Amino acid sequence: MSQRKFLVIADDSAEFHVALKFACRRARSTGGHVALLRVIEPAVFEHWSGVREEIERQAREEAEAALQKMAEFVIAETGMAPEFIIEHADNTRSALRKVIGEDPDIKILVLAAAVEGRGPGPLVASIAKEGVKWGARKVPVTIVPGDLTDDEIADLA
C-alpha cells in the first residue's frame, strides 16, 4: 500500500509557509508525508548555450539549497524527511501536470490563497478557471487561507 503524499509548491510566496505547515500537520495526522515541488522556469538568456547552462546550474543549486532549508522544518513537524521534486518547466501548472501525472502516490495538492487582499493568487485562479484535472488524473486540491495562524492550522489539520 502506498503512502499518501501531500504535494506543496515550494516557492517564495508569503503564503507558501502556511500551505507547508498545513500539509505537514495533515501528513502527520493521517500517516502521510510531504512532497515539495520546486519549479525552475527556463532561462531567457539564449545567446550562448554555455551561459544558459551555467544559469540553469545555478538555478538548480539554489533550488536544492532552498529545499534543504525547508526539509528541516518538515522533519521537525512530521518526523519524516520530505520528498524533493525539482522540475524544469515553462510554468508551475505544466510542472504540476507532469509531476501529478507521473506519481500516483500524490493524493492531495495543498495551496494557500494569497494574503493581504491580493486576490487568490495565480495558481489558485488558474485552477478555478481551468479545473483540477492534471493530465489523466484528478487530484483534490486543498486551498487554505494564506493568513492562517499556527493555532488555526493546528485546529483545522
Calculate mean pLDDT across residues 2-29: 91
Cα-Cα-Cα-Cα dihedral sign, residues 115, 4, 91, 58: positive
Q: What is the pLDDT of residue 93?
A: 86
Does the pLDDT of residue 82 top 90, yes or no?
yes
Residue written as grid cell 495533515: 26
CA 102 – CA 11 distance, rounded (Å) = 21
Model's pTM, two decimal places?
0.85
pLDDT exceeding 90 applies to what percent of the chain?
41
Name 156's bridge partners. none
| Short-list 75, 83, 77, CA closest to 154 | 77
Buried b (16+ CB within 10 A) or exposed e, 38-47: bbeeeeeeee
Give the per-residue pLDDT at 1: 42
For residues 75-83, average pLDDT: 95
Helices (H), the chain: 16-30, 49-78, 92-102, 122-130, 150-156
pLDDT given for residue 7 in this prediction:
96
